[in-house]
Structure 1
Amino acid sequence: MFAPLRVRNYRLWAAADLVSVGGTWMQVLGLNWLILSATGSAATMGIVVMLQSLPVLLLGSWGGALADRLPARPLLIAFQAVRALLALALLLHGGVAIIYAVALASGVISSFEGPVLGRFGSALVPKESLGSALALGSVLSSAGRIGGMALGGVLVGLTGPNVLFAINAVSYVAVIVALFLMRTEEMRALPVADATSRGVAAGLRYVLAQPVVLIVLALSFVLGSLGRNYQVSMAAMVAGPLHGSSGSYGLLSTVFAVGAVLGGLLLAGTGKSTLRVLLATAFVISVLQFASGLAPNVLGFAALILPIAAGAVVFDTVVATRIQLDTREDMRGRVLATLGLVSSLSGIVGAPLVGWLCDAAGPRTALLLAGAITTVAALTGAAALARAKGFAFPALRRPIEQPA
């Protein structure tokens, strides 16, 4: 289950990542508090989120091409140093303009950092341990988020947001130290793109020629758009048909976080990141989402949220695993950049869409409709992958060849 932790470089990275994620979420909380106290505008928060997301859509492909050409560790050290400076820039409190500038700069860094991080992470462990490493990374991210938000919630009331920004800046220093302490000779060597296949266009042609990857990305987009925006639908259900309180929303958020950790632990324990697991999980969480629209009360909704959150982590982790294992390593940065683009688009499209459905048709109808669509998408994806890979599920026919 914890085989990746036997690798020294991965242990260093996991510890640093836990600290960094905690610091990041402390800054998110402090920044939200700062914006609301300074402007009283939720729309300003939306603009900040948009400024962080847009660069990924515009520059992500070039970030992937860069990741496939240059060594990852020096780039990551530079990115972490710049992020630390951006966190310190928030201490200036120079008005909304500084916040917008930091958000935009963070989005630009994410455009290049995301593919580099994915490629670097896959070099830390043996290829057969990649699925477990990604699952453990998801657990650490969830734990860091819970810890960062909890500690930040206490500190922001006692000290104000400045301390949270300073702590986040220090957390990036922890990552830089970990990167310097790693033994490069123990890392798995990944091939780099040659001169004829380095560009963005070459990466796009490669992705478009991979039917399995395209199907997985399409399924990820549909489920990401309609099945991942529970921050929107949970709030609408609590405030509407469930007749809950702010405490009820806090309970559901906690249950969701616990489910995310359990899902990561389950996948790390089994190590089964196959296409069949991906499709089965997509179907189960879609059916559960449909059922959540029928939940009679907060506790019933919470009972469904727990496995949905666990399944969402399993699905997303298996998507990331298959995207990496089923593609050429010299194209990995650009393939991961494409996954990042799909994830960003699903958030940009899905959150307002789910919110509009909740307002126009009611949260129950929104969950029922979204669950029905994602269920159909899961079944359609299964049929398409069976055709592309030449295998079927036991209920259909015997497998022709060993699946991925």
Structure 2
Amino acid sequence: MTATLGKVSGPAGSAWAPLRVPTFRALWIAMLVSNIGTWMQTVGAQWLLVSIPGAEILVAMVQTATTLPGLLLALPAGVLADIFDRRHLLIAVQLFMTTVAAAMAVATALGEMTPALILTLTFALGSGAALTVPAFGALIPELVPRRELAHASALGAVSVNLARAVGPALASLVIAWIGIAAVFALNALSIAVFAAVLIAWRPGPMAASEDPERFLAALRAGGRYVRHSPVTRRILVRATLFVVPATALWALLPLVASRLLGVGAGGYGALMAALGVGAIVGAIALPHLHRLLRTNVALLVASATYAGCLLLIALWHDMLAVTVALVPAGVAWVAVLSTINAQMQLFLPVWVRARGLSAYQIVIFGGQALGALLWGTVATHAGLAWAFATAGAAMLLGAATIRLLPLFDTHHIDRNPTVYWPEPHLELEPEPEAGPVLVIVTYRVEPANEAAFVEALEQVGEGRRRTGATRWRLYRQGEHPWTFVEVFQVPSWEEHIRQHSHRATGFEVEAERRAYALAATAPEVAHLLPAGARSGHPLPAGAPNER
């Protein structure tokens, strides 16, 4: 696997192609409506707090309350999305969010809304969003062809950022004409629309699948996959280095409007609209951007552009200048995050897709939550200008690491699930929960192939850990120096069967084939079970013991 500034797999063709799929189109429109309501709610909640004492930290904490659940609930949400029916899960979550949004509207209309209640109910809505993101993201590859996944990701960014353009502007009009309670009521209606489309959607019959994983086992398996996937870890690093400083803009923009620029809700709506327009332009132009620039170079340019906007806000307090600068900032925001999100969706194997996306969600939501708190604190103690200047400098430092920590080139990696090992057959057929299971694979290697074999087995070991092994080591026999013994431990027999049945992809299979080609004879495999393991279905003596 290489990590270069070269071309990383990216989108090609029409940016609008996924909208030809009727189900995707209906869900995309419904999500757009819901996103508009979400941005209206954010503006309403922040504007309720702008004029009270301690507004700097309270306004920023609206962003924290919205995104912190993504940090706390992302992994459980990914597990739920991988082991339960995703459509049913989404429907239940949208109905819960509709109830919460309606409660916000009622409390505000009755004059009972306090800062604590605003943040509590906003946190509840953020919890619903945290449960929605991995389930909806994992549905997308089931709705559109793989070659259009990058475009579907970009269209997701179009939805979010069109909502950023429309939602704040619409919210400012509603606040001025009717009041903030109406904003919250419209948010409840927008979530209900998304729920209605999900209820009306009747997906076709799904192919029969194996029994769902147990919750805690699935949670641990997802964590192991992320820890032992260099590609996934690198994507998460790049997302972190961008999101944390970038959040200063979203978290503190209401204060920029009211204090640095001296404008009201209408002016704030115009600033948010400029960001949204830029993001829409960026999403539409993303396929062309990838054709013109290498992906890592595009990330560098976009990050530097965003940093320039942060620094301009710190130094130049002019409404027109800031509004104009926010357009390229919106382009940069969507260029970076759509690229990174598409890389995650394209790379993650099917069996762990929602859990992998939940790790991405942790970085995005958690980075925004912690970043908002950080920049709100800096603004409180040093002033808004210093907060933006510091965030801009941090963004430039992060962009400078792209040469050292670029995205990996993954276009050559086969991510299709592959059944490579025949299912193991033992004379003692253990119960699924029996474990831990120790697997011992013995290889005989010619001396000339030793170095290449050891290197190849290291990659095999990474694959074992990604697909379920909790421990892995390679040994050599002292009595027979050219005999190597691979030992790995799996939590249960059920987990090991999952390794055999569907977790390996073409990438893991190719690594094993390279290693086996360097061995002098076929590997010998033994499965060691706990001495007290019970047999589920004993096999007759002489039954084959295949790998």
Report the TM-score when normalising by structure 1: 0.81
Tell me the matched-pair count: 385
1:217 matches 2:236:
yes
1:60 matches 2:83:
no
Identity of aligned residues (%): 27
SS in structure 1 of the partner of residue 403 of structure 2? helix
Is the contact between residue 79 and residue 113 of structure 1 (CA under 8 Å) also seen in structure 2? yes
Alpha-carbon distance in structure 1 between the residues aligned to 2:312 and 2:41:
36
Go from structure 1 to structure 2 and tell me whether the alpha carbon gap of 1:197 and 1:233 turns closer, same or farther (over 3 Å shift): closer
SS in structure 2 of the partner of residue 378 of structure 1? coil
Structure 2: runs of 5+ lacking an equivalent: 1-13, 414-547
1:338-375 Cα shifts (integer Å, max 9, x gaps): 11111123223333545666738946853652243022
Amino acid in structure 2 at the alignment position of 1:324: Q
1:311 matches 2:332:
yes
Alpha-carbon distance in structure 2 between the residues aligned to 1:366 and 1:100:
27
Residue 119 of structure 1 and its aligned partner are, at CA, apart by 1.1
User: Comparing 323-332 with 84-93, which one deviates more in the overlay?
Assistant: 84-93
Is the contact between residue 274 and residue 322 of structure 1 (CA under 8 Å) also seen in structure 2? no
Alpha-carbon distance in structure 1 between the residues aligned to 2:180 and 2:249:
27
1:64-99 Cα shifts (integer Å, max 9, x gaps): 111111111111111111111111112332443543
Specify the alignment match of 1:349 in structure 2: 370
User: Comparing 323-332 with 193-202, which one deviates more in the overlay?
Assistant: 193-202
1:325 aligned to 318, 322, 346, which one?
346
Give the 5 Å matches for 1:79-228.
Answer: 79-93=93-107, 94-96=112-114, 98-185=117-204, 194=213, 198-228=217-247
Amino acid in structure 2 at the alignment position of 1:61: L
Report the TM-score when normalising by structure 2: 0.61
Is the contact between residue 241 and residue 398 of structure 2 (CA under 8 Å) also seen in structure 1? yes
Is the contact between residue 223 and residue 374 of structure 1 (CA under 8 Å) also seen in structure 2? yes
1:285 matches 2:306:
no
Residue 335 of structure 1 and its aligned partner are, at CA, apart by 0.8
Go from structure 1 to structure 2 and tell me whether the alpha carbon gap of 1:196 and 1:230 turns closer, same or farther (over 3 Å shift): closer
Specify the alignment match of 2:404 in structure 1: 380
Alpha-carbon distance in structure 1 between the residues aligned to 2:394 and 2:244:
9
Bigger Cα Rg:
2
Is the contact between residue 237 and residue 364 of structure 1 (CA under 8 Å) also seen in structure 2? no
Go from structure 1 to structure 2 and tell me whether the alpha carbon gap of 1:320 and 1:368 turns closer, same or farther (over 3 Å shift): closer
Counting helix residues as a fraction of each chain, which structure ranks higher?
1
Go from structure 1 to structure 2 and tell me whether the alpha carbon gap of 1:236 and 1:367 turns closer, same or farther (over 3 Å shift): farther
Alpha-carbon distance in structure 2 between the residues aligned to 1:195 and 1:273:
43
Go from structure 1 to structure 2 and tell me whether the alpha carbon gap of 1:75 and 1:265 turns closer, same or farther (over 3 Å shift): same
Go from structure 1 to structure 2 and tell me whether the alpha carbon gap of 1:302 and 1:335 turns closer, same or farther (over 3 Å shift): same
Alpha-carbon distance in structure 1 between the residues aligned to 2:223 and 2:277:
37
Amino acid in structure 2 at the alignment position of 1:152: A
Specify the alignment match of 2:486 in structure 1: none
